[in-house]
Structure formats: structure tokens, C-alpha cells
A and B are shown apart, each in its own frame.
Chain A
């Protein structure tokens, strides 16, 4: 009979494999797409065109007001009844990206608003259009402010990708779940999965520190 330690050791391979092959690419892809959505939504919310800002407001409200699991199920299990069938991976990426888009939009909007009005004026007085001022002057300063809250969003996302196991995506948690079912060692496998998530998040937190230091080089300490 194999010991618990043996099982823990042997299952580490598939679990880390699930992280590398599932959790991490899923989180990264969704986050990048989500940030693009978020920037667009933030700019739409700040726009003076009522239709744009209204639509952005509704989007943020729906995303934040409904559970991620429900969003995921609507896309994967709900849409087929409308004749739209999406594979597990793309379903998960769509759901997570839309979700990040809603939360990060508010972060980015607040970060843009935190840059003093005088910076816009300084951009204008050197002849820049609104778009150029936004890109060259405002967003770089907003980026610094938004790194800590966006890191939070990313870390949450990494953990939320475990929900993708429920729509058959092979990732960290689904690997652990399968081994647990066969071996009947639920406590061991779920704690092991938790530890692997935790380690990933520790690495991400130290990455956050590096980025913050880099962006803080022009700020008085």
C-alpha cells in the first residue's frame, strides 16, 4: 500500500502540469484580453458621448452584479440552446476576459481620473491631441496607480480559473479532483492543490513588487 507521501509526490506532476498547461495560460490569456476590454470600457465610461458611457456603465454593472460561475455557465451550457456552441477553452477565456474587463475597467477609470487635470492641460499646451495626451502623458501615470489593484484582479483571476474545471477544462484543480476521486484521498489532494495555488500567487506578488519599484522611480520617497 502506497503511503500518503508517495501519493502526494506522484500527484504533484499532474497538478503542476495542470497549472502549466491550464491555469497559467488560461489566466494570462484572459487577463491580457480582459485588460484590453477594460481600457476600452474605461475610456467609454469617461467619454462625453452618452450612448458610450451608458453602455459601459451597463456592462460593468452586469459583470459585477452576476456570479462568475453563472457567466461561465451561460456561455458554455446556455449558448448552445441558441445554436452557439463554444468549446471549453474558448468559453473559459471569453468568460474570464469579460469578467476581468468589468472589474479592471473601474480600476483603470479611477486611475485615469487620479491624474491631475493639469497634466491634460500641459499635454494640450505642447500641442498634443486628446488621444496623444492620453497615450503619452496620462496612461503612463495611471499605470503606476493601477498596478496594485490590477495585481489583485490578476491574483483573483488565477484562483477563479479553478471554476473552469466545471466546464471540463483540464487545469490545476481538475487534475487534483480526478486524482482525489480515484484515490479517495480528498483532503490530501485538495490541500495539495491549495498549496500549489498559493505558491503561484506568492510568485505573482513578488512580480508585483518588481513592477511597482520600476514604476516608482520617478516618485519622491
Chain B
């Protein structure tokens, strides 16, 4: 798809994150985070709750504003959080990425279609007919073409989350951000959503995924970043990090997750 083509500035990284720091009061949640996301890459952020992984993700979308550090996009946009971020920069930052939320956060007063075309039409000023056609084909792809005119309350959690993904896709972002996309779902609905995300990865979408689903991370990610206590403890290929981690903290985390009853 044309919109996933690299923007003007060459470079293999879509996002480069340097030195992100943030504290809420006395609580230092991010303590100098560095990582980058390759074009077409899928990065899984894993770690215990409170490790700061969701805050990192939210920082990429300007939903959390770090106290320090930079986020640089391959199109040249650089946000430096060491000084107050202007509204323009915040909107520019959000323009590059789109978030899929744990609790979907669909607009309850709008139909599925209206949810999807809201951003393209109201923000990106695309024509309603064009945005609608694209929304319909995206809905078709996630198997929800017949839900076009339904309201969110009429959908199951898994269906709502697939609409959430389509809403993000419709914005044609450089990067898709997923914040624990299956944590709020009933177990039997998780599979549908994970399948959709995996297909997007295979199609070449650049994605950052905060997840507890380690098996899924192993399948879909090409890099796993393990965070704990506001720092990146280690990162690497899923086969290394999730199977043969070097760091003791990673080993402990994996052991707790994989063998909860030991």
C-alpha cells in the first residue's frame, strides 16, 4: 500500500526513541528508555506490570508526555521532551501513529462506520465517499462488513477490538501502537484479534505492541524489548529473549509467567 512507503527522509528506522524519562510524583516510571523501530518491524514490549511499557507506548502517541528524551520519526519530525511540547508538535506526533486501546475506546454514539471515518474525514479532511469506501474494504478484511451500521454496544469485545484496529488503520499511520489489545477480551475471542494483528505484521505494517501474550509475541514480533523498573533490561530476537534470556530479571519474569504455580 502506498501509504506504508517510506516518507521523504531515508533511513531504516521509522521511530527512534532516546532517553525517555518520566515520573508521576515520586514514582519514576521511565528511567531512560532507548529503542528504535525498523520500517515494517514489529516490536513487542513485555515486562511486569508497572514496568513502564504502557507509558512508553503512550509517549509515542503523545497521550503521555515524558519529562525528558526525544522521539524522532523518519520523516524528520523530532519531539524533544526536555522543553514543553507545543500543541502543534503534539498533533504532528499523533499524526504519525495510531493507538489501539486495551478497552477499545470506540465512540459509543457513533456507528462502526462513523467511528472509522471520523479521523479521516474530520481531521485528515478526506472525502466522505472515499473514506467510506476504504472503511468498508477494511471492515471486509477483518470480517465485519455486515456490522457497518451497528453501534459498538451491539458488538462483542472481539468485534469491538477489530473495529478499533480498523479505526487505527484508516488513519494510514506510519506506526500502529497496540496497548494490551487482548487483555480485556474473553479468552475465546482473543484468537480472532491476534490473527488480525499477525496478518497486519505479515503485510508489512510497522507495529509496537505492549502485550502479556508471550506466545503471540514470539510469533508476531521480530524484536522483543523486555522492560522492568522503567529501563530496558534487554532486547533482541524473540527466540533469544523469550527462550534464552541473558539477564537474570528476564529469566525471573519468564519463569513467573510460564510457571505461575511453582
Q: List residues of A whose CB falls within 8 A of some B CB.
A: 116, 118-119, 121-122, 124-129, 132, 136-137, 140-141, 144, 217-220
How many residues of B sit at the interface, in one of the four size bands? 20 to 34
Residue in contact with B98 in the complex, picked from A116, A118, A119, A126, CB distance below 8 Å: A126
Residue in contact with B124 in the complex, picked from A127, A129, A219, CB distance below 8 Å: A127
Are B109 and A140 in contact, with the CB atoms below 8 A? yes
Q: What 1/0 flags go to B102-114 for Cβ under 8 Å of A? A: 0101111110000
- Chain B residues contacting A137 (CB-CB under 8 Å) are 107
Residue in contact with B123 in the complex, picked from A118, A121, A122, A132, CB distance below 8 Å: A132
Measured CB to CB, the nearest residue on chain B to A140 is: B109
For residue A220, give the distance in angstroms from its CB to the closest CB of chain B. 4
For residue B151, give the distance in angstroms from its CB to the closest CB of chain A. 4
- Chain A residues contacting B167 (CB-CB under 8 Å) are 126
- Chain A residues contacting B62 (CB-CB under 8 Å) are 124
For residue A36, give the distance in angstroms from its CB to the closest CB of chain B. 22
Question: B228 on the interface (CB 8 Å rule)?
Answer: no
- Chain A residues contacting B99 (CB-CB under 8 Å) are 121, 125
Are B87 and A218 in contact, with the CB atoms below 8 A? no
Complexed CA–CA distance, A19 and B14 (Å): 67
Question: B243 on the interface (CB 8 Å rule)?
Answer: no
Are B94 and A127 in contact, with the CB atoms below 8 A? yes
- Chain A residues contacting B87 (CB-CB under 8 Å) are 129
Question: B244 on the interface (CB 8 Å rule)?
Answer: no
Question: B161 on the interface (CB 8 Å rule)?
Answer: no
- Chain B residues contacting A220 (CB-CB under 8 Å) are 153-154
Q: Tell me whether A136 and B122 are in contact in the complex, defined as CB-CB below 8 angstroms, given that A124-B94, A218-B153 are known contacts.
A: yes
Complexed CA–CA distance, A122 and B91 (Å): 13
20 A-B contacts (beta carbon < 8 Å):
A118-B101, A119-B107, A122-B101, A122-B106, A124-B62, A124-B63, A125-B63, A126-B98, A126-B123, A126-B167, A127-B123, A128-B122, A129-B91, A141-B108, A217-B151, A218-B110, A218-B151, A218-B153, A219-B108, A219-B153
Residue in contact with A126 in the complex, picked from B108, B119, B153, B154, CB distance below 8 Å: B119
Among A116, A128, A132, the one with the most B-chain Cβ atoms within 10 Å of its Cβ is: A128
Are A122 and B107 in contact, with the CB atoms below 8 A? yes
Complexed CA–CA distance, A219 and B87 (Å): 34
Give me 9 other A-B pairs in contact (C-beta within 8 A), A122-B105, A127-B94, A136-B118 excluded.
A118-B105, A122-B106, A124-B63, A125-B61, A125-B101, A127-B95, A128-B119, A137-B107, A218-B152
For residue B175, give the distance in angstroms from its CB to the closest CB of chain A. 12
Complexed CA–CA distance, A221 and B171 (Å): 32
Are A127 and B101 in contact, with the CB atoms below 8 A? no
Are B119 and A127 in contact, with the CB atoms below 8 A? yes
For residue B223, give the distance in angstroms from its CB to the closest CB of chain A. 23
Complexed CA–CA distance, A116 and B91 (Å): 21
For residue A2, give the distance in angstroms from its CB to the closest CB of chain B. 57
- Chain A residues contacting B106 (CB-CB under 8 Å) are 122
- Chain B residues contacting A124 (CB-CB under 8 Å) are 61-63, 94
For residue B176, give the distance in angstroms from its CB to the closest CB of chain A. 11
Are A121 and B101 in contact, with the CB atoms below 8 A? yes
- Chain B residues contacting A132 (CB-CB under 8 Å) are 122-123
- Chain B residues contacting A116 (CB-CB under 8 Å) are 105
Are A126 and B171 in contact, with the CB atoms below 8 A? yes
Measured CB to CB, the nearest residue on chain A to B99 is: A125
Complexed CA–CA distance, A125 and B108 (Å): 16
Complexed CA–CA distance, A124 and B107 (Å): 12
Identify the 10 closest CB pairs spanning chains A and B, nearest first.
A126-B119, A127-B123, A122-B105, A118-B105, A125-B99, A220-B153, A218-B151, A140-B109, A218-B109, A127-B94
Q: Tell me whether A126 and B118 are in contact in the complex, defined as CB-CB below 8 angstroms, given that A118-B101, A118-B103 are known contacts.
A: yes
Residue in contact with A125 in the complex, picked from B94, B122, B151, CB distance below 8 Å: B94
- Chain A residues contacting B105 (CB-CB under 8 Å) are 116, 118-119, 121-122
For residue A217, give the distance in angstroms from its CB to the closest CB of chain B. 8
For residue A155, give the distance in angstroms from its CB to the closest CB of chain B. 25
Are B107 and A127 in contact, with the CB atoms below 8 A? no
- Chain B residues contacting A141 (CB-CB under 8 Å) are 108-109
Q: What 1/0 flags go to B49-92 for Cβ under 8 Å of A? A: 00000000000011100000000000000000000000100010
Are B98 and A125 in contact, with the CB atoms below 8 A? yes
- Chain A residues contacting B152 (CB-CB under 8 Å) are 218
Complexed CA–CA distance, A144 and B109 (Å): 10
For residue B182, give the distance in angstroms from its CB to the closest CB of chain A. 17
- Chain A residues contacting B107 (CB-CB under 8 Å) are 119, 122, 137
